[in-house]
Amino acid sequence: MKLEWKSGLRLGVCLFGLFLLIHYWDQLAGLGSLALQVAWPLMLGLVLAYVVNIPMAFYERHFPTSGPAWLQKLRRPVCLVLSVLSVLAIVVLIVRMILPELVSCVTLLLEQLPGALNAVAAQLETNFHLSDWLSGEANSLFQGDTDWQKLIQQLVDWLISGFGGAMASITGLISSVVSGTVSVVVAMIFSIYVLMGKERLGRQIHRLLDTYCKPRWTEKLYYVLGTVDNSFHRFIVGQCVEAVILGLLCMIGMLIFRFPYAVMIGTLVGFTALIPVAGAYIGAIVGALMIFTVSPLQAVLFIVFLVVLQQLEGNLIYPRVVGSSIGLPGIWVLAAVTVGGGLMGVGGMLLGLPLTAAVYQLLRHDMNRRSAPAPET
């Protein structure tokens, strides 16, 4: 009877909680959004710490494990500095390879823009007699039936409203930039604290779970978190390998077809390919714009080339490289990227694939455990 009373109490509490969730959904959603906004710098710091910890763990494995005490105390800060410098060096190298050529191409486009506008105007004059149309409009405007006072008042109102909207947009932009900068700085500082004391933080979390959770639940939670961590780690490594492969294939193909800016665009395409499947198209837009300054025909051919390469890479290379690294069959890689991108855009692509891999591993392990024959007695 005692067990039935407890079961009824739990059911009543769950139903009452469900009622509160449905009835106060708007308030709870607003509170959750506010909490997410406040905790965003810390969440970003955890993401940065997780990414930087990958090269940091590599440096720590190759750091001398024996030696004087002062050398062992320097192990953590030295490896942290080396990992941060490695990430910054890659970013700076890519920016230095891409930015100067991109600036020169944009400058060239701006220099050629007046001539292109003059050519368009000449074509309009030749085919549509633009000057005659403008003169006719001017004559009708300066006839006596025009209400100049009303026209000027409308112009002044439009300028005032436009100025107010522009000021609001500028203020919002400045506020967003300042807020984003502060969030990034706080996230970087928080990630450094997490990386410097990751063992101590891990021991505290383990002690908290061991104290307030049942051993069976704690064991399952450790297993699930370990599987998710392994999937994300392998996903990041596999994504970087796939980006390097795509960048090299793009550069080699551009050199074969004699496209301009082959090395730079190949680097850009490889860098943007860190976004699953759709990332290379971002680099394609910039690359086509740069090639357009040299030859519009080659820009069109480059887009065709990159579309074919991206289809081959997305359907053949990517599922095999990333799928094999995270232990997920190619068909589920495509499904995870498609569904995640449809639900949450780029963020869904980045999160959907390792989460799907983790769920796949957990389900496979559970099914193998359930289908295993019972031990003989």
Q: Is residue 147 scored above 60 in pLDDT?
A: no
Cα(313)–Cα(338) distance, integer angstroms: 15
User: What mean pLDDT value characterizes the chain?
Assistant: 76
Q: What CA–CA distance (Å, rounded) separates 20 from 325? A: 44
* 258 band by pLDDT with thresholds 50, 70 and 90: confident
- Does 146 or 306 have the greater pLDDT score? 306
Q: What percent of the chain has pLDDT over 90?
A: 0
Q: What are the CA-CA distances from residue 154 to residues 138, 161, 163 (Å)?
A: 19, 10, 14
335-350: average pLDDT: 73
Sign of CA pseudo-dihedral 337, 338, 339, 340: positive
d(Cα 233, Cα 237) in Å, to the nearest integer? 6
pLDDT, mean of residues 211-234: 83
pLDDT class for 1, splitting at 50, 70, 90? very low
Calculate mean pLDDT across residues 180-202: 85
**In Å, how far from its chain's centre is CA 153?**
47
Q: How far apart are CA 103 and CA 294, in angstroms?
A: 14
**Is pLDDT larger for residue 153 or for residue 297?**
297
What average pLDDT does this structure show over 99-111?
Answer: 69
Least confident range from 14-18, 160-164, 273-277: namely: 160-164
- The mean pLDDT value for 298-317 works out to 81
Radius of gyration from C-alpha coordinates of the chain: 30
Q: If you average pLDDT over residues 205-233, what whole number do you get? A: 83
From 127-131, 175-179, 358-362, the region with the lowest mean pLDDT? 127-131
> Residue 205: its pLDDT value, please?
85
**Locus of tokens 């368009």:** 120
Tell me the pLDDT tens digit for each residue of 358-376: 888 888 877 877 776 655 5
Please tell me the distance from the alpha carbon of residue 300 to that of residue 297, in angstroms, as a whole number.
5
pLDDT of residue 129: 57
In total, the chain counts a number of residues equal to 377
Domain ranges of the chain: 36-116+173-212, 215-370
Closest by alpha carbon to 333, among 276, 272, 279? 276
Tell me if 317 sits within 8 A of 244, measured CB to CB. Answer: no
Which has the higher per-residue pLDDT, 210 or 282? Answer: 210
What CA–CA distance (Å, rounded) separates 229 from 250?
A: 32
112-125 pLDDT, tens per residue?
A: 666 656 665 666 55
CA distance readout (Å), 293 to 114, 288, 290: 14, 9, 6
